[in-house]
Structure 1
Amino acid sequence: MPTDFDLSIPQIVLAALAASVLVVAVLAGSSSSAALSPYNDDWDGASDFRALASERGEVVLAHETGAYDSGAADGTVAFVLSPDSGYASSELVGVSRFVRNGGTLVVASDSDSHANELLGVLGASARLDGRPLRDPRSNYRTPAMPVASRVPNASLRAGSFAGLRTGASDAADSVTLNHGTAVEPNGATVVYNTSGYAYLDADRNGRLGPSENLTSAPVVTAERLGAGRVVVVSDSSAFIDAMVEEGRNRAFVAALLSGHDRVLLDYSHAAGLPPLVVALLVVRESAWLTLAAGVAVVGILGVWSRRPDLLSAATATLSRQWQRASGGGIVGGFNGEIGERSEGPAVGIRPTRDQLVAHLERRHPDWDPERVERVAAALHRRRDR
């Protein structure tokens, strides 16, 4: 059936506006400005970290802890970066099962609240101190960014026990923190230490006080837990783009990823995943939602293939509504009024000069008769061209 797809200028403008809104919505829904977000390309995002992880194998973005049970624990490393809230008891069951079945869990934070709560419930020994760590001697640009060195013969593999694979990248020499804290090992293996000139800034004044002592502070520990292990890093900022670009931290991240075929990024208790990404994950994880989405797409394509004229009609309707909402211009407004009073569409109607005068008088009662006549004459001449 032949269809007239000729579009008027308002329809073209409307289509362009709709396309722009769609593009902006997709971009906004698929990106994030949250710190440590894998979809944030700014300095405080973790897009470089996600890219490094994808080079190692499958990357799983977890918006809920059920993802820990979605694959084999052995050969998987999971990252929890600065959780904003505590894990519920039911959620901790899955995380604990993941570690004890052979998974590696990396917990990174400069705070001692929710991260320590997670470590305690899991049964790990290490704890985060929470006080700012500074090192005036060994640092990157400022004492608030200590450079910690690997302890000789220490390994992120926590003793390289059975079931955990080692590799050359486990020999990252150092790691740089960015306003981090220290780790209290409590029996866990210390893998990275600051120099002996570091101190915990208890009063947070940026200076070594009389009650603050110089010490070599642990910043990374590893310990065995069941068949798996837990690695604690005293600063989640070690994983942001600005820090991963720094050579030492890239090697450190590579060391954590080494020997694993699957990487799970746990954002179940932290901002970072854009709404569109979460929506896609929810649909993908639900067989019923996936089926419903597929049926909807097939249905829309089927209707359009049988009735392509519906697209033209819908576009014309939206165009008229847009004209009315935005004012639509004087002639557009006139056609809208004619369309409302008549049974047929207003497209193509050529108003007479008297009709234009009457319309202008109704729409602009504050105009004097001379101005109304002048504008009506100009519009009538334009319509006759």
Structure 2
Amino acid sequence: MLKGLRKSRVSKDIIIILVFAIIISFISILINMPSTTPYSPFNTGGNGYSNLLSIKSINVNFVKDARELNQKTLVIIPLRRNPGNAINQLVEDMLKYGTTIVILDEDGYSNNLLEYLRIKARVEIYKVLDEVSKIRSREFPLIELVLGNNTMKIATYRPSYIILDEENTVSVAKTSRYAYADVDRNGYYTVGESMGEYLIACSWKINNGVLWLVADLDLFANNLMDLGDNIDFLYKLMSSGKASIIVDYIDLDIVDLFKYWFNNLVPGVSIQDRISLALLSYFVVLVVIAMMKYVEKK
């Protein structure tokens, strides 16, 4: 009878180990499944934000709940969809605390926020191309930004442009005078399209904080991070060496959301390269614990 009980316990231990192995394998598959969501922190493609996690000298966190934000960090808000009115009070409160906020918007979703903050500016949705000051092709205009004593060349990808109704900005970044808005969306210059300097980014001092508006969601994307002075620009914006990126308005898919919540729940699984290693470590620890219990029972 004792032998039967021992066999039953051993069988249960084996079943438990197998169940955990299946669960961990399933989690590992989901975690390592490639993301194609534009501007997702888990997208390793050109239009993803995954490279921000691998910059060793800075600490970048992706935040889904804005209430988790540390007010002393740089806050970046990419707008891939309309955030509605909820963002208005959030941004206003953060500016009162002295936060530096960067709004990335190329579809005019921030226009309502600008009106709420009484800023006389708006984002126009036509894409800007440049035949002269560019990287790779006309779709990658180089914009010149003067920030303090530094002049930087920032790489962009098919940015929109900003119209200012009053000159009350702290800093501005413009294209060369050979840029044009691709009004007919054919990807080339057409007679009649206005050629000249286009405003792509600007900033305002509001209350105790600083608000940046950049008409390009790709500013910190993987395909631009090593081009121009984009990383240096990010460094200049970060006074504390920390940045928080709000992902509420990126429209993450189910797999991305699973990765996000799993990364928050499981310590050690915050950087994509370490995901498989971290899961393997948890599995090894689990097996060792199960083996120790088996030996004790024996």
**Smaller-chain TM-score bracket:** 0.7 to 0.9
Q: Structure 1: how far apart are the matches of 2:42 and 2:188? A: 36
Q: Does residue 262 of structure 1 match 2:242?
A: yes
* Structure 2: distance between partners of 1:67 and 1:6: 45
Tell me the equivalent position of 1:110.
Answer: 106
Match of 1:44 among 43, 47, 65: 47
Q: 2:138 aligns with which of 139, 143, 166?
A: 143
- The one-character-per-residue Cα deviations of 1:198-228 (angstroms, maximum 9, x if unpaired) are 0111111223233312111111101111110
Distance 1:189 1:204, change over 3 A: farther
User: CA separation of 1:207/1:124 partners in 2, compared to 1, >3 Å: closer, same or farther?
Assistant: same
- Alpha-carbon distance change, 172 to 20 in structure 1, aligned in 2, over 3 angstroms: farther
Aligned AA (2:77)? V
**Map of 2:64 onto structure 1:** 63
Pick closer, same or farther for the CA change 1:276–1:195 going to 2, 3 Å. closer
Structure 1 equivalent of residue 77 of structure 2:
80
2:257 corresponds to 1:274: yes
TM-score, structure 1 as length reference = 0.59
| Structure 1 counterpart of 2:204 | 223
Give, as a single letter, the amino acid of the residue that structure 1 aligns with 2:162. V
Q: Matched residue of 2:159: which SS?
A: coil
| Larger strand share, 1 or 2 | 2
When residues 189 and 279 of structure 1 are mapped into structure 2, their CA distance, relative to the original with a 3 A threshold, is same
Match among 96, 100, 104 for residue 100 of structure 1: 96
SS of the residue corresponding to residue 219 of structure 2 reads helix
* More moved, 192-201 vs 247-256: 247-256
Per-residue deviation at 1:143?
Answer: 0.8
Pair 1:100–1:83, CA change in 2 (3 A): farther
2:176 is aligned, of 182, 195, 206, to 195
Q: Is this contact kept in 1: 2:153–2:228, CA < 8 A?
A: no
Query: Does the C-alpha gap of structure 1 residues 84 and 279 become closer, same or farther in structure 2, counting only changes over 3 Å?
Result: farther
Measured after TM superposition, the shift of residue 6 of structure 1 is: 6.3
- Alpha-carbon distance in 2 for matches of 1:3, 1:221: 72
Hey, what does 2:154 align to over in structure 1?
Answer: 175
Query: Could you tell me whether the CA contact under 8 Å between 1:63 and 1:278 is conserved in 2?
Result: no
1:24 matched to which residue of 2?
26
CA–CA separation in structure 1 for the residues paired with 2:36 and 2:105: 19
CA contact (8 A) 1:29 1:277 kept: no
TM superposition score normalised by structure 2: 0.74
Q: Is the 8 A contact 2:235 2:241 kept in 1?
A: no
Cα deviation for residue 184 of structure 1 reads 1.8
- The alignment partner of 1:253 has SS state of helix
Q: Please give the alpha-carbon distance, in whole angstroms, between the structure 2 residues aligned to 1:253 and 1:27.
A: 33
Change (3 A) 1:43 1:120: same
* Preserved contact between residue 78 and residue 264 of structure 1 (Cα < 8 Å): yes
Paired with 1:23 and 1:245, the residues of 2 have a C-alpha distance of 34
Query: Residues 17 and 178 from structure 1, CA distance in 2 versus in 1: closer, same or farther, beyond 3 angstroms?
Result: farther
Residues 1:213 and 2:208 are matched in the alignment: no
Q: Secondary structure at the match of 2:229?
A: helix
**Alignment check: 8 A CA contact 1:190 1:218 kept:** no
Unaligned runs of 5+ in 2: 268-285
- Which protein is richer in helix relative to its size? 1
Question: Aligned partners of 2:73 and 2:46: how far apart in 1?
Answer: 27
Give, in angstroms, the shift of residue 237 of structure 1: 0.8
Alignment of 1:114-133 (within 5 A): 114-133=109-128
CA contact (8 A) 1:138 1:147 kept: yes
CA–CA distance in structure 2, aligned partners of residues 30 and 231 of structure 1? 34
- Residues 117 and 50 (structure 1), Cα distance of their counterparts in 2 relative to 1, 3 Å cut: farther
Q: Determine the C-alpha separation between the residues in 2 that align with 1:93 and 1:173.
A: 32
- CA displacement at 1:172 relative to structure 2: 5.3
Cα distance in 2 for residues equivalent to 1:61 and 1:209 = 41
Specify which structure has the bigger relative contact order, considering alpha-carbon pairs within 8 angstroms and separated by 6 or more residues.
2
Tell me which amino acid in the other structure corresponds to 2:24: L
CA-atom RMSD, angstroms? 3.5
% identical aligned pairs: 18
Preserved contact between residue 39 and residue 250 of structure 2 (Cα < 8 Å): no
1:183 match: secondary structure: strand
Structure 1 segment 364-383 matched on structure 2, within 5 A: none
Q: How many residues align?
A: 262
